Structure 1
C-alpha cells in the first residue's frame, strides 16, 4: 500500500514515541487502513468475531481516554480509475484457489472493480462511530488524500495511516504503527520536514520514487530500476526537480547528467506514456485538495444503543460494554461545551486518588440515570458506576468535588496520627548496661519536678549490672535498644517526646554525673 519500499527509505527519520505524546492532538485516521490491519492480524482470523470492529472500539477507547481528538476519514466506495489494476489484483489474491464463480470473476474484471467486503465493513464501522459520537468525513477520492488535505489546512495535527503515499499528497506529519497495547503503547512519527532536511528529498522526489519503484497507480514501476539506483540518481540531481527531468525526457532532451540518469532514462522511455500525467496530477492537485472541509464536533455517546449494537456484532455482555462506553460518556461530559443534564450524569464523590502509569488519577463515583449499572434496578450506593479519571481534568471541571475530597482526606490523616500518639506507651523499658567499677551511684533528688526521670546505676564489679528507673516518667520508649548506643536513644527521645534537650544534657543539668563519669557512661 503506497510507494514500494518507501517506508524502508524513510527508516532513518522514524521516531518511536509513547502514546502519551499524542495527548491533546487532533488526528485524521484512515479508517480503511485500520480495517485491513485488523483483518490481516495473526491470531484474530477465525478466532475473534468481527476483529475490525473490536480493533476500532478498543483504539477509540484508549485514544479518547488519553485526550486525543479523532477525525476518521471514510474512503469513497468508487475506486479511482488509476487504481483499477491494483484493486483487481488485490481482490483476485483474496479469492480462494478453488473459486470458479463466473459472476464474481466478471465483477472483478469489469470497470470499476467491486470491493463489496470492504464497503460492508466500512459501513459497520461508520455505524459504530455514530453511536460513540466520533466525528468523521467522507472522501470523494482516496482517503489518504483527504487526510493530507486536512493536515495541510491545519484542521488536524497529523495523519494516522499505513499508506506511504500520504506524503506524496503533501501531508506534513504521518503517524504509523500505532499500538494501544498496555504493555507497549507507542506510535512511529514521520515528518516531511525531516525528509527534506535529513534525507535531502523533496515532495517531488517522493513522487519520482513512486514512478520508478511503483505505487498503487503504477504497481510495477520501471523494470530494472531498484531502490539504490533511484536514490543515487536523486542525490545526483541536487536541487533539480526529478519531475522536470521526466518532462524533459518526453520532449526529446537526451542530455543526461550522469550514467545513472542515462540508464534510468533508457529504461523509463521503454514504457508506454512515461510518466503518466494523470498520476502526477493526482498527487500534485488531487480533487480532495480543492475541497473545503468542516470537521464536525464530537457528539454524546449513545450508551443504550451502543450496548445492543456491540452485543449483536461482538457478543460482549452488557455489563462489560456499559463500563467501557460509560467511560467515553464521562470524558465527553468533562471536555465538551455541550450540557449534560445532572439527572443523567453527575459526579457524586471521589473515592480515591492514586498514580496510574505516571499520571495522577481519581476514582470517581457517578450518579444519574446513565450511571446506574446494568442489572441493578435500585439506585443504591453499589448500583452506580465508578471510573478512573485524569486528576487534572476532574479538578478543572469539578473543583468543588476535589476540594471536598481533599478536606475529608486531611481530616482522616489527622485523626489517624492522633490515635497513634494516644496509643504509644510512655514507660521506658529496662535496658541492660555495662557499668565500670567504682561508678558513682546516682541518687534521685527530692527537689526534682514531678515527672522527671533519673537513671540509677549500681556500683558493681560484674559486667551486666542493670539500670533501673526510679519512677514512671515521660521518657521515650526505647524498646530493645541498648543503652550503650546513646545516639540512637537521644534520637528516639527527640522523635517521640519532642524534647529539645538531648539525654546527655539533661543528665548534666540534673547533676547526676560529672563530665568524667558521663564519658564513661557513653563509652560503655
Structure 2
C-alpha cells in the first residue's frame, strides 16, 4: 500500500531502530484499518476458529500500547475513499484474482465516477465500527478522516498534535508525516523501525514534492500504472534533476511535450565533434606517436621502470587530461540521451501528471475540524462494566478474564494520576492500594518493577496455609481460544501470603518512581544492603582469616609439587618457607575445598 515499486526498500537504509520506551509519554496516531488487517491472517492461521479476531487484536494491542509502551494512542478511521482510489482498489482486486483489468468499469467523462466502484466491503465496515465502539469504551480518542486515515494521521503529525504515526502506507510521507513507525510489536526484544523525514531528506536529498513526483512516476494508491519504464531507481535519478519547488511544474511542462533538452543534446554533440583528441601510441596507449616511441620510450613507460615502450594490457584506459575530457563529454551525452528518453515516456502518457492526485497529497485538511485548535484530544478512563458486557457478548469471555487483561491499563492510569496529583489516598480500580516493590525483573529484554497491590476493603476469603503460599494465575478465559497471541499483555498474578491475597503486576520503573519516589528509594536501599550482606557472608564462608601472606606463584608451584609427591606416599605434607615440613593427619574431608587448599599451602 502507498507508493508503488520497492519504495520501502529505498527508505529502509535511513530507518532508526527504536526500543520499547521510544513512545513513552508520546502521542501516536494509529491507522485503525491497518491494525485490523495487519495480523488477521496470522491469527486465523494459528486459530482458524478464532472468534472476532479484529476485536481481540484491537483490545490487546491497545492495552499493550497504552500500558506497556506508555504511549497515548489516537485512532484514525478511514472516510469515504476518493473515486481514483476506489477505481485503483477494484483494479488491484482484478489483478490478484487473475481477471482481465480491461473489463473494469470506467468513469464516464463528465458524469463522475461509476457508483459500484465507491462501495466498500460491508463486512470490513462492520469490523471497523465494532472496533470504534470498543476503543471508545476503553477511553481512547477516535477521529474520522475525510478520505484516507494515513492522510489525517500525517496531518496530525505535521501540525504537532501527535509525535508519530503507526501505519504501513508509505504515502503518509507524501501527505506530510514527519515520523512513521511501520511495524510494532510490544512482546518482542527486537527494536522496531522508525522512519523520520529529516533522515530521509538528509540521506536521499529529496523533499515532500519530490517524493510526490516519484509516486506519480512509479505508481501509487490512486494510479497503479505510473509511467512505463520508471522504476524507483530511475524515478529517483530523474527527480534529482530538479529542485523541490520546481519538480511538479516541470512534470506538467514535460507532460505537455516541452522537451527542450533536445537542444542541449545537439549542443553537446557539436562540442563532442569539435573536441580533438591528442594522438596516442597504439603500442603502449600513452600520448604520442608510435614512430617516436620506437626510438625513445615515452615518459610514462620510463616512470614504470622500462627502457622501451611496454605493450598496453587488455582493458587499458589512458588517464591523460585529453582522454578525461572526452570521457566526460561521452558521459554527459549518455545522460542527456537517457533524460530525453524518460521525458518522451512521460510526454507519451495522456493527462500526466494527474492534478487531482497532486491536490490530494498537498491538501492541508483531511479531518472534520478546522486547523490545529479545532481538535481536542482527550483520554478518558475506561468504562469497565460496559467493556465487560461488550466483550462478554462479542468474545464470549468470562468477566474475570476481561478484568484481568484490563488491569495493566488501569494500573498505568492510576500511576499517572498519582504522579500528577501526589494523592496517596487514591485506589486502583477503587479496590487496591500500593503495598510495596517486590523485585526488579527483566521481561522481553526490558526492566520492570514487580509491584505488590493490597486489597483495601476487608473481605472474607478462605484461609491458605503458609506452606501452600505461592503465585497463582488468575482465571483463564471461558472459551477454548488460544491466548498466546501477538501483543497480548501479561495479566497480573496472585500472591497468597499468610492467608491474604495480593496482586502482582509489572510496571514501568520511571512511572513507578514518579508516583512513589520514597518507596523506590527504600527498595533500592534495601536491595543494596542485601547485596552487601550477601557478599560479606560469601567471603567469610569461603575465605577463612589468615595472618600469612599469599604465596607467590613459584612457592605455590613447589608446594603443590611437594604435596602431590607426599600424597602418593599416603600423607599430606606442607612445605614451609624455611624448608620445614609438617605432616598433616586426619584432615577433615567435610571442610570446603577452598579451606582444605589453604590449610595445605599456608
TM over 0.5: yes
Structure 1 position 179, deviation (Å):
2.3
Q: Does 1:254 align with 2:255?
A: no
| CA contact 1:361–1:390 (8 Å) conserved in 2 | yes
- Aligned partner of 1:353 among 424, 439, 451: 439
Q: CA deviation at 1:345?
A: 4.2
Q: Secondary structure at the match of 2:140?
A: coil
Structure 2 equivalent of residue 328 of structure 1: 409
- Unaligned runs of 5+ residues in structure 2 are 100-112, 265-335, 462-473, 477-493, 547-570, 588-592
Give the Cα separation in 2 of the matches to 1:229 and 1:427. 78
The separation in 2 between residues aligned to 1:24 and 1:269, in whole angstroms, is 50
- Deviation of 1:240 after TM superposition, in Å, equals 6.6
Corresponding position of 1:63? 65
CA separation of 1:483/1:374 partners in 2, compared to 1, >3 Å: closer, same or farther? closer
RMSD between superposed Cα atoms in Å: 4.3
In the TM superposition, what whole-angstrom CA distance separates every residue of 1:310-353 from its partner, at most 9, and x where no partner exists? 34333444433322201110101111458895380442412511
| Mapped pair 1:220 → 2:336 | no
Quote the residue 2:299 is aligned against.
none
CA deviation map 1:234-283 (0-9, x unaligned): 23336673212122235553313733333233223333321111111111
Judged with a 3 Å threshold, the aligned counterparts in structure 2 of structure 1 residues 197 and 399 are, in CA distance, closer, same or farther, namely: closer
Partner of 2:352: 274
Aligned twin of 2:237: 232
Question: How far apart, in 1, do the equivalents of 2:131 and 2:199 lie?
Answer: 34
TM-superposed CA distance for 1:32, in Å, is 0.9
For 1:9 and 1:435, locate their aligned partners in 2 and report how far apart those are by CA, in whole Å: 74
Q: Tell me the alpha carbon deviations over residues 52-103 of structure 1, each in whole angstroms, 9 at most, x when there is no partner.
A: 2232223222222221221111111x22222120232356678899xxxxxx
1:83 is matched with which residue: 82, 85, 107?
85
> Aligned residue for 2:50?
48
Describe the shift of the 1:259–1:409 C-alpha distance in structure 2 as closer, same or farther (beyond 3 A): closer
Once residues 78 and 117 of structure 2 are traced to their aligned partners in structure 1, the CA distance between those partners, rounded to angstroms, is 18
Deviation at 1:108, TM superposition (A): 9.2
Segments ≥4 residues shifted beyond 4 Å:
90-97, 337-341, 371-376, 380-384, 400-424, 431-436, 465-468
Cα distance, 1:295 vs. partner?
A: 4.2
The one-character-per-residue Cα deviations of 1:179-218 (angstroms, maximum 9, x if unpaired) are 2233x34321112112221112121111111111111111
Q: What secondary structure is seen at the aligned counterpart in 2 of 1:10?
A: helix
Residue 387 (structure 1) shift: 1.3
User: Is the contact made by 1:145 and 1:169 (CA closer than 8 Å) also made in structure 2?
Assistant: yes
In structure 1, the residue matched to 2:601 is 485
1:21 and 2:17 correspond: no
Structure 1 residue 144 corresponds to structure 2 residue 222:
no
Question: Do the aligned partners of residues 206 and 69 (structure 1) sit closer, same or farther apart at CA in structure 2, a change above 3 Å counting?
Answer: same
Query: Residues 304 and 233 (structure 1 numbering): CA distance in 2 closer, same or farther, change over 3 Å?
Result: same
Gaps of 5+ in 1: 98-106, 441-461, 469-476, 487-524
Give the 3-state SS of the residue equivalent to 1:208 in structure 2.
Answer: helix
Whether the aligned pair in 1 keeps the contact of 2:3 and 2:221 (CA below 8 Å) is yes
Alignment of 1:235-384 (within 5 A): 235-237=240-242, 241-250=246-255, 252-256=257-261, 258-288=336-366, 291-292=371-372, 293-336=374-417, 341-342=426-427, 344-350=430-436, 352-356=438-442, 357-368=445-456, 382-384=500-502
Which one of the candidate residues 507, 512, 526 is aligned to 1:394?
512
Aligned pair in 2 of structure 1 residues 382, 66: CA closer, same or farther (>3 Å)?
Answer: farther
Structure 1 residues 191, 358: closer, same or farther in 2, change over 3 A?
A: closer
Task: Assess, with a 3 A threshold, how the Cα gap between structure 1 residues 368 and 272 changes in structure 2: closer, same or farther.
Answer: farther
Q: 2:438, 2:253 → 1: CA distance? A: 71
Q: Which moved more, 1:413-422 or 1:33-42?
A: 413-422
Q: CA deviation at 1:148?
A: 0.9
* Cα distance in 1 for residues equivalent to 2:140 and 2:120: 28
Q: Distance in 1 between matches of 2:98 and 2:352?
A: 35
Could you tell which deviates more after superposition, 202-211 or 403-412? 403-412
Does structure 2 retain, via aligned residues, the 8 Å contact 1:136–1:295?
A: no
TM-aligned CA deviation for residue 374 of structure 1 = 7.5
Task: Give the TM-score taking structure 2 as reference length.
Answer: 0.63
Does residue 385 of structure 1 match 2:390?
A: no
Instruction: Mark the CA change 1:395 to 1:200 in structure 2 (over 3 Å): closer, same or farther.
Output: closer
2:310 — aligned with what? none
Of the candidates 573, 576, 583, which is equivalent to residue 464 of structure 1?
583
What SS does structure 2 have at the residue aligned with 1:177?
A: coil
Matched residue, 2:209: 204
Q: Is the 8 A contact 2:450 2:504 kept in 1?
A: no
